[in-house]
Chains A and B, each alone.
Chain A
Amino acid sequence: MSAISINKEHLKLILEDAKTSSESIVKETVLAANEDNTHMQMIVEKAAEKTQKSAKSQPSAMQIKITDFFKAVIPPVFGILMFLGIWTLLSHQQPILPGPISTWHSAVELFSHPFHQNSLDDQGIGWNILSSLQRVAFGFGLAALVGIPLGFMIGRYEFMSSMTAPVISILRPVSPLAWLPLGLLVMGAAGPAAIWVIFISSIWPMVINTAVGVSKVPQDYMNVAKVLNLSEWKIITKISFPYVLPYMMTGVRLSIGIAWLVIVAAEMLNGGAGIGFWLWDEYNASNYEHIIIAIFVVGIIGLLLELGLSMLAKRFAYE
């Protein structure tokens, strides 16, 4: 009996040494130890060998964390460095194109006074960004206000769907800027015209996604509504709307992406204030660094809008 206990002790020590040993080996060896004492030594040696092997081949948790970190970080860093490299190379080939370093210095200077205001044409980049965002908010907000209920009706009633289909199919592929002259003509001012362009070009994804969502509400849920004899209002608030919400959020995300794409172009043509106008203005003033800064600003804000809405959409997802 004492021999068994000593051997078990020995075994335990070995197993504790190799912390990463798998459970199956532990079970196997402990079971064997209980059953047969004569083979003990051999099994213990075997187990020690096995666990040492696995200790060598399996990295520790810390090591895994470190490799995961590098796996996640190295490719993007590499991509950015390559991008900067190509940019530098191009700016050396074509000296009129500002390189990364001069752009960086210019950006530092620019962002040290983001909200200065000398005249209407000379205000800080912060103001320009804000006025662009404001326009997008107006145009996009109006589009949501009209587009989402419209989508609901199209999805709910076959007649509405057939009625609107030809008009939507024709208007949807029209380039956003094609709407600008019409806006200027009717509204008579640049500001409302820009909002109009955003409205008309960002409304479609919301209409279509909402309609698709509503038309896909499972018949099972509608049967529940029928059996419970729910009112039309209850059907909308308790069944259609929660079911459609994820579809709708996809539409909203696509729409805001389009709105942000369109604003730059619309402001370039329109003038006034805004990041698109500023980009064009800086081009005319030969501040070429600022053009590149504007491109980055547009990209980063677009990304942030997208991320924000993705997070909002996740919050509304029920599964």
Chain B
Amino acid sequence: MNPILNEATTPALSNNTAKVTERYVHIEDVGMQFVTKKGTFEALKNINLSITQGEFVSIIGHSGCGKSTVLNLIAGLLQPTTGNLFCAGREIAAPGPERAVVFQNHSLLPWLSCYENVYLAVERVFGSETKVQQEARAYAALELVGLSHAVEKRPNEISGGMKQRVGIARALAMEPKVLLLDEPFGALDALTRAGLQDELMRIMQKSGATAVMVTHDVDEAVLLSDKIVMMTNGPSAGIGEILEVDLPYPRKRLELAENVQYNHLRSEVLKFLYERHAKKVA
């Protein structure tokens, strides 16, 4: 559908299948405490997680369990109180373009057009390239998410789903080693969400990038992931179980609905969330 992922514009995306590194993203004994007016609040405790290169990992849990905190730690937006985080063998000390984030509320700059929003990211990462090459990258990223027709539009002129696509395009344009998605489709209606999930699946298949996604949608987690990390409830939340999703690609939403294994995995996640770690309604 979008044949623009050629070697000229996105070299890094196309040749990363050559060597697969285990423990590409590595979280080691991480604990996180926040200092509040009421004293210290322990959000996370003893988090250990390894993500293999090219893997799609979902983090699922009830709201307030610290899943976004884990993502922000990998992004480098937060620093852990204890423990260490590594990405591609290097310690994560600060945010950087090799770990691009797709924010829940898209976080596009409203005074820039879709193209300019993406270009801002390209410009920073590929500053050594010519302007023509940079522009081509920005257009390619927007084409990848199917938004070639809306490049000159401002964020407030397009729908919520389209905004989220621009957010994804901005992240992908940086050619990140790891793509971090913070409830990317949480604010969208069910139909738009399904469409974007399919599209994300297609893009991730094509690029082969490593991805970590925070979600509270069980179907989304099973459909997209290779691995589902299920978190216990906070405070002092930790990783409860890790579920391997070995469904073959390409995955088709409609076929999976009848698939025994898919439904088994789905009920495993549901059992974890609503039986073993049910959250009392506040």
Contacts and interface: CB of A to CB of B under 8 A. Distances in A.
A319 B110 contact: yes
Interface in A217-233: 220-221, 223-224, 226-230
Contacts of A234: 120, 124
B107 interface: yes
A223 B77 contact: yes
A257 to B, nearest CB: 26
B120 A227 contact: no
Given A242-B111, A319-B156, A224 B103 contact: yes
B100 interface: yes
A221 B112 CA distance: 12
Interface in B65-115: 75-77, 94-97, 99-101, 103, 105, 107, 109-112
Contact of A239 (B77, B100, B109): B109
B101 A223 contact: yes
B209 interface: no
B100 A227 contact: yes
A227 to B, nearest CB: 5
A5 B200 CA distance: 56
Interface in A192-243: 220-221, 223-224, 226-230, 234, 238-239, 242-243
A227 B105 contact: no
B213 interface: no
Given A220-B105, A224-B103, A318 B110 contact: yes
B122 to A, nearest CB: 10
A229 B109 contact: no
Contact of B120 (A220, A226, A228, A243): A228
Contacts of A239: 109
B154 interface: yes
Interface residues of B, number: 24
Interface residues of A, number: 16
A246 to B, nearest CB: 10
Given A220-B103, A318-B154, A319-B156, A227 B109 contact: no
Nearest to A224: B107
B126 to A, nearest CB: 12
B121 interface: yes
A224 B95 CA distance: 10
B7 to A, nearest CB: 25
Given A220-B105, A238-B109, A319-B110, A228 B121 contact: yes
A302 to B, nearest CB: 31
A230 to B, nearest CB: 6
A234 B156 CA distance: 22
Nearest to B121: A228
Given A220-B107, A221-B107, A318-B110, A226 B77 contact: yes
A242 B105 CA distance: 19
Interface in A268-306: none
Contacts of A318: 110-111, 154
A229 B107 CA distance: 15
Nearest to B101: A227
A224 B109 contact: yes
Nearest to B104: A220
Interface of B: 75-77, 94-97, 99-101, 103, 105, 107, 109-112, 120-121, 124-125, 154, 156, 174
The 9 closest A-B CB pairs, nearest first, are A318-B111, A242-B111, A226-B95, A220-B107, A227-B95, A227-B101, A224-B107, A228-B121, A228-B124
22 contacts: A220-B103, A221-B109, A223-B77, A223-B107, A224-B107, A227-B77, A227-B95, A227-B97, A227-B99, A228-B97, A228-B120, A228-B121, A229-B96, A230-B120, A230-B124, A234-B120, A238-B109, A238-B112, A242-B112, A318-B111, A318-B154, A319-B110
